[in-house]
Amino acid sequence: MRLLRLVFALAAFAALGTVSAPMASAGPAAGADRALQREASRLLRTPNGPPGIAITVQRGKRRTFLNGGRAIAGTRRRIRSTDHMRIASTAKAFSGAVALRLVERGQLKLSDTIGQRVPSLPKAWQNVTLRQLLNHTSGLPDYIESPETIARLQSDPRGYIPPEDILDGAAKEPLRFPSGSRYQYSNSDNIVVGLMAQSATARSYKRLLGRLVFGPLRLRRTSLPSGFLLPGPYIHGYDIVPGEAPQDVSTFLSMSGPWASGGITSTPGELHQFMRAYAGTKLLGRRIRRQQRRFVRNASSEPLGPGRNDAGLALFRYRMKCGTVYGHTGNLPGYTQFAAASRGGTRSVAVSVNIQTNPKAGDPAVFARLRKVYGLASCAALARG
């Protein structure tokens, strides 16, 4: 029964501690820092909450790494900024980075269609554009929800799936709505983005990540695995069932299925480093950033991010009373992620916990408290002082 619950989910501990640098701030920043630390500690004490948490907050050149709880349940080891982890759907920002860098180079256009680049995909999908895939207005059915994908995960969750076969189940379904007519988050979108990037360059998506993202940003601990193992040391991810011991699901799932939609392995430090660049000014030029930040209003990331959510090109805008940040969220069995930065990338935040939680999976009270942590961490990054 627990295996089935984990498949469909795709669709109390130590108080918070600090490492690297204390959050010694003045003015509004000091109050924001204290509020964040209190709420993170409450999250760790919440019934059914995560065994551990890692938070990175950077204001200008000053970076603080906070950790609490445990990287491995039943031990005393805390999460480190260099520990590996699944980054889930924050990987969509990486596929967006690949696609937008190819657009800058003239190897792709935002107006390119699936029919032009991947004609083997269903006829009904042929007129969907790269732009519509990146901002989730494509209408593509979500492959994770298809009976074929669910059956495959139930029978062999660690099995390898070639990129060209990932969408087999969804390919049998019609578009959910006329492309471009409305917003609906779909994991299929970024799988197609990866396939289009491969078609445009005759290079594998993995190689494109290395050349266009990992290499330029010196992300030496970030990778795209095709199996179920993580490089060590890693943050163990857990499934929490009330009244039972946490079950380690770190290696429950092969990353070949999530692939360009959610298959990347990184670290708290490098996820934060990437988002500063992608949401800021270090990875994309001004012209393409203007396209990246053409937002579909009231369109939420999955899971929901802090404040009011709007969808750009593989980037979400999170508007709060304290200000606005740009980033992405993600979750899959064992992990929930959030990373964001200010418009210029000089103020940034990343939050990682080692359970999957969202409004549809797990305890709603846990997700509500985690989402509050997202907002407080973002406000701490934006605070002056």
Q: What domains can be seen in the chain, in order of their start residue?
A: 2-382 (3.40.710.10)
Q: What is the DSSP string of 256-317?
A: TTTHHHH--EE-HHHHHHHHHHHHTTSSS-HHHHHHHT-PBTT---SS--SSEEEE-SS-EE
Each residue's pLDDT expressed in tens, for the chain with a length of 385 residues: 454 455 445 543 334 443 334 565 666 788 999 999 999 999 999 999 999 999 999 999 999 999 999 999 999 999 999 999 999 999 999 999 999 999 999 999 999 999 999 999 999 999 999 999 999 999 999 999 999 999 999 999 999 999 999 999 999 999 999 999 999 999 999 999 999 999 999 999 999 999 999 999 999 999 999 999 999 999 999 999 888 889 999 999 999 999 999 999 999 999 999 999 999 999 999 999 999 999 999 999 999 999 999 999 999 999 999 999 999 999 999 999 999 999 999 999 999 999 999 988 778 999 999 999 999 999 999 998 7
Cα–Cα distances (Å) from 198 to 102, 109, 148, 204, 265, in that order, read 11, 14, 25, 5, 20
Task: Please write the tens of the pLDDT for every residue from 105-144.
Answer: 999 999 999 999 999 999 999 999 999 999 999 999 999 9
What is the C-alpha to C-alpha distance for residues 21 and 7, in angstroms, rounded to an integer?
Answer: 39
pTM, full prediction: 0.94
Of 218, 314, 231, whose CA–CA distance to 270 is shortest? 218
What is the per-residue pLDDT across 21-31, written as a single tens digit (0 to 9) for each?
456 566 678 89
